[in-house]
Every structure is written in structure tokens, then in C-alpha cells.
Amino acid sequence: MHIFQICSCTLCLTRTVHLVHNTPMELKEWLKRNDMRVSEFARSIGKSHTTVLRWIDGTTTPSPKAMRLVMTKTHKRVMPSDFFPDQNERTPAQERA
């Protein structure tokens, strides 16, 4: 999905319209791309390491309040829909069962 966002560009130093690629991703991928440990992320949103691991492996789903925290922390790169696999996909927890 592409969206236009007006921002202060750090490259051209102007307030201009840029094409922003807002591609959703799973939390695990976001953590890897941002070189952040699960424990560090969990602490930053006031959750336990174990809770965040359960979200990542699909054992549990974040509450609506926790999803808002995740969206804010990841700058909307991880969205609520990213915690719900497509009907044809299985979560890692389902694969182990």
C-alpha cells in the first residue's frame, strides 16, 4: 500500500509530499529490521518478555490497548491485522499442536 504523507524531509530539508511505503510486517520482522531484542521492546511498551513472545508465536493476541502500543512503537509498521493470520495460514503455535 502506498500513502502520501507530508513530512519534514531530512534529505531535502523541506516540508514536501513524499511517497511513503507503508508495508505491514509482523512484529518479529520489525524487531529484526530494527535490531531490537524482544525484552527491550517489551520493556518499552510496559509488557513482559513472555507476553511479547506469545504474540510473536501466535499463542496469544494482544489486547486492543496493547495493539495501539505496538502500532505507536513501530510507527504503524505493525498493525492489528498483522496479528491475525489469513484463513489459510497457520501460526507457529498451531504448527506445533
Q: Structure pTM?
A: 0.67
| Grid cell listed for 47 | 509488557
> Domain containing 58: what range?
24-82
Residue 75: CATH number of its domain = 1.10.260
How many domains are there within the chain? 1
Query: Helix, strand, coil shares of the chain as percentages rounded to 5?
Result: 45, 15, 40
Is residue 8 within a helix (H) or strand (E), and if so which, with residue range? strand 2-8
Backbone angles phi, psi at 65, to 5 degrees: -65, -45
pLDDT per position as a tens digit, 23-60: 557 999 999 999 999 999 999 999 999 999 999 988 99
Instruction: Give domain status of residue 91, yes or no.
Output: no
Tell me which amino acid residue 5 is: Q
Distances (CA, A) of 26 to 30, 35, 58: 6, 14, 11
pLDDT in tens, 54-86: 999 889 999 999 999 999 999 989 999 888 876
